[in-house]
Amino acid sequence: MKVRAILRDATVQVKMLIKHPMETGRRKDEEGNILPAHYITEIKAVCKGDDVFRAEVGPGVSMDPYISFAFDGANTGDTLTISWKDNKGESETLDVVISGA
Amino acid sequence: MGISRRHFLKTVGGSIACATLAGVTLPGSVMAKGGDDHALSDNVNAAVKAKYGALPIEKSDRIQIKAPEIAENGAFVPVSVSTDLPGVTSISIYADANFTPIVASFDILPKTRPDVSLRIRMAKTSNMDVIVKAGDKLYRASREVKVTIGGCGG
Amino acid sequence: MRVMFFLSVILFGSGVSYAENYNKKVEKDIEEFRGFFMEKFPGITLDDFADGVYAINDNARQQWIAIEDFPPYELDLEEGERLFNTPFANGKTYGDCFPDGGAVRHKYPYFDEQRKEVITLEMAINECRVANGENPLKYKKGDIAKLSAYMAYLSHNKLVDVRVDSESAYEAYLSGKEFFYSKRGKLNMSCAGCHMRYTGRRARSETISPALGHPSHFPVFRLKWGNMGTLHRRYAGCNNNTGAKPFAPQSEEYRNLEFFQTIMSNGMHFNGPASRK
């Protein structure tokens, strides 16, 4: 996944792009077999010990999810930890340092 | 690596005015209209109840939705939702005609701004409904998004 | 260039050297071609046309801008960079074939005077692979598109300036030009029919893009494909859709077409890779 976290005025703007098929579980392959559901179910962001973002997502979110959010109470140089989990139990975590605009 | 397109747009052409992307929503752009006047479908109502319980739902013009009138592609519909209602604790997005109406739900925590953008899937032309929980109440706003079948594949 | 011009006047007593002749003929075509679009869409600058439909349709443009803020192809770009820097089995890398760290997209396509054919970037990528003992990549999508995307990204904003310096090059140009203007297939449509005359109007629910600047932003992440694809992938798809026989990617026909189309975009700037509908 790729994450950009930029401090603008007093707010941190966060944009993330996560590589994930977000397979709905309703598509079929060429032979007519159902492609099993494989999608991210939750995304979280933590900064300085506090949850600053929590999302429940599912197959309604586009492939290679792009999500953007904003939060207050942090500074450039602080670390933001983004993590996600999917319905198969797979997960990924990434630390990014908040940069200035 | 990772220079955004906005940087490109500034350096190549761009004589057509582009709205400056301040924050995560585009203020004052063509798409940032208020809600349409649609009642929630039974489908969506049921999904809202499943998540929030049987709270009363009130229409609100303090929820801003940015979504295309006609989606370029139903698999990648860029949308933004924000609200200036006070005391927001949750924002949920529904697409009425999707197999599973609920698309995403965001907990608005003490430090979180009630302002999100994402790309969603819309199976076909339908309403995108937004529910905002503020205090003990639910507020709603909607936008119709048209989804067409493209003519030029390949 | 000026010095050479005067030198050739002095040396040969005639107006213009042979190389200039072809470029001058082509320049006339470019002016006409460009003029057609500038007249059809006043208020749009030459470089704006590189944004295709997004220069002429506001609803589409708004969505495109939203997507380009963090486009899906950024993941492919990362992968393209990784591929470019990964050594072949023999220890060499693409950097040994392509100078400037790979920022050479703007040097393609070009007419190779020895081989007497048009060389495209994708073709050069595979020739680099084969020369180093690797298998060639398939030409429409996958790794070829990611590598091409990375190299296009490095050449962002470089000038489109394809030369036609010989009779053979001019013939390849004319061949591409003929392809562009010829009707073909069951629907009996030509590239020009849609992408000149019908630009901005609709084919079913699609708004037709202007041919001016067509190759500048490739390879593209097409939302419809859900992945990255090359110019020739699009050529084949479009031919297929109009009921015409698609040619093989990197066939002579498509390379000459790319040659013609890129020349018609001379004076613009490369702005790939890009997101498209």
- What domains does chain A contain, in order, with CATH numbers? 2-100 (2.60.40.10)
B-chain residue closest to A51, CA distance: B109
Chain A: touching chains (3 or more CB pairs < 8 Å):
B, C
Cβ contacts of residue B42 below 8 Å, gap of 6+?
A: none
**Chain B: residue whose CA lies nearest to C150:** B1
Kindly list the residues of chain B whose beta carbon comes within 8 Å of any beta carbon in chain C.
1-2, 4-6, 8-9, 11-16, 18-19, 21, 26, 29-31, 66, 68-73, 75-78, 80, 117, 119, 148-154
User: For B154, which of C60, C238, C269 is closest by C-beta distance?
Assistant: C238
CB pairs under 8 A between B and C: 113
pLDDT in tens, C21-60: 999 999 999 999 999 999 999 999 999 999 999 999 998 9
Q: Give me the interface pTM, i.e. the ipTM.
A: 0.95
Q: Has residue C181 been placed in a domain? A: yes
pLDDT at C185 > cutoff 80: yes
Q: Is residue C4 part of a domain?
A: no
Indicate if C238 belongs to the active site. Answer: yes
Question: CB distance from C159 to chain A under 8 Å?
Answer: no
Residue (of C125, C124, C133, C127) closest to C92 by Cα position: C133
Measure Cα distances from C167 to A2, C27, C83, C125, C179 in Å. 49, 15, 38, 27, 18
Which of C46, C48, C54, C62 has the highest number of chain B CBs within 10 A, making it the mutation to test binding with B?
Answer: C62
Segment C183-193 mean pLDDT: 94
pLDDT at res. C6: 60
| Mean pLDDT, 10 residues at a time, chain B of 154 residues | 45 33 34 65 95 96 95 94 98 95 97 98 94 96 88 52
Average confidence (pLDDT) over C105-132: 98
Q: What is the pLDDT of residue B80?
A: 97
Q: Give the fold, CATH level 3, of B31-147.
A: Immunoglobulin-like (2.60.40)
Closest chain C residue to A14 measured between Cα atoms?
Answer: C70
**For residue B38, what pLDDT is reported?**
74
* pLDDT for residue C173 is more than 80: yes
The whole-number pLDDT of residue B15 equals 33
**How far is the alpha carbon of A51 from chain B, nearest alpha carbon, in Å?**
7
**Residue bearing tokens 């500034």:** B10
Does C16 fall in a domain? no
CA–CA separation, C23 vs C25, rounded Å? 5
Under DSSP, the state recorded for C217 is G
Q: Using one digit for the tens of pLDDT, what is the confidence trace for A15-40?
A: 999 999 999 999 999 999 999 999 99
Provide the terminal-to-terminal Cα distance of chain B, rounded to the nearest Å: 30
Indicate whether C19 pLDDT > 90. no
**Residues B9/B11/B15/B21 CA torsion (nearest 10 deg):** 40
> Which one of B24, B80, B118 has the shortest CB-CB distance to A61?
B118
**pLDDT score recorded for residue B153:** 52
Residues of chain C with pLDDT > 70, as a percent, come to 93
Cβ <8 Å between C70 and A15: yes
Q: Which of C70, C237, C269 sits opposite B4 (nearest CB)?
A: C70
φ, ψ at C177 (rounded to 5°): -65, -45
In a domain, C75, yes or no: yes
Tell me which residue range forms the domain holding C197: 21-277
Query: Average pLDDT, stretch C122-141?
Result: 98
The amino acid sitting at B2 is G
Query: How confident is residue C203, by pLDDT bands cut at 50, 70 and 90?
Result: confident
CA–CA distances in Å: residue C240 to residues A6, B152, C134: 45, 10, 31
CA dihedral sign of residues C1, C6, C7, C13? positive
Output DSSP code: residue B112: B
Q: Could you tell me the end-to-end alpha-carbon distance of chain A, in angstroms, rounded to an integer? A: 21
Instruction: Please compute, for residue B91, the number of CA atoms within 13 A of its CA located in the half-sphere on the CB side.
Output: 31
In this prediction, residue C3 has a pLDDT band, given cuts at 50, 70 and 90, of low
Buried b (16+ CB within 10 A) or exposed e, C35-65: ebbeeebeebbbbbbbbbbbbbbebbbbbbb
Q: Please report the pLDDT score of residue C175 as a whole number.
A: 98
Judge contact between C171 and C258, C-beta under 8 A: no
Q: How many domains does chain C have?
A: 1
Instruction: Count Cβ–Cβ pairs < 8 Å, chain A vs chain C.
Output: 21
Q: Which residues contact C251 (CB under 8 A, 6 or more apart)?
A: C232
- In CATH, what number is assigned to the domain containing residue C177? 1.10.760.10
pLDDT of residue C7: 60
Select the residue of C69, C72, C78 nearest A64 (Cβ to Cβ).
C72
Q: Do A69 and B77 touch (CB under 8 A)?
A: no
Residue of B nearest to C206 (CA): B151
- Band of residue C206 on the pLDDT scale cut at 50, 70, 90: confident
pTM for the model: 0.88
- What percent of chain C lies above the pLDDT cut of 90? 88
Is C37:C212 a contact under the CB 8 Å cutoff?
Answer: yes
pLDDT of C251 strictly over 70: yes
* Residue C20: predicted pLDDT: 67
The pLDDT confidence band at residue C8, using thresholds 50, 70 and 90, is low
Q: Spell out the alpha helix ranges (H) of chain C.
A: 2-12, 18-40, 58-68, 73-85, 121-131, 143-154, 167-181, 191-192, 231-241, 252-264
The confidence band for A41, taking pLDDT boundaries of 50, 70 and 90, is very high
C14 domain-assigned: no
Beta partners for A6?
Answer: A13, A99
Structure tokens that stand for B134 in this block: 């503020």
Q: Is C258 exposed, middle or buried (0-12, 13-18, 19+ CB in 10 A)?
A: buried
Q: Locate tokens 């709905």: which residue?
A: A24
Residues A83, A55: contact at Cβ < 8 Å?
no
Cross-chain residue pair A17–C78, CB shorter than 8 Å: no
* Tokens linked to C126: 């595979």
Partner residue opposite B5 with nearest CB, options C47, C68, C223: C68
- Test the A interface: residue of C63, C75, C76 with most A CBs within 10 Å: C75
Catalytic residue among C128, C191, C194, C238: C238
Q: What pLDDT is attached to residue C205?
A: 77
Asked if C265 and C188 count as a contact pair (C-beta separation under 8 A), the reply is no
Among candidates B139, B87, B136, which has minimal Cα distance to B114? Answer: B87
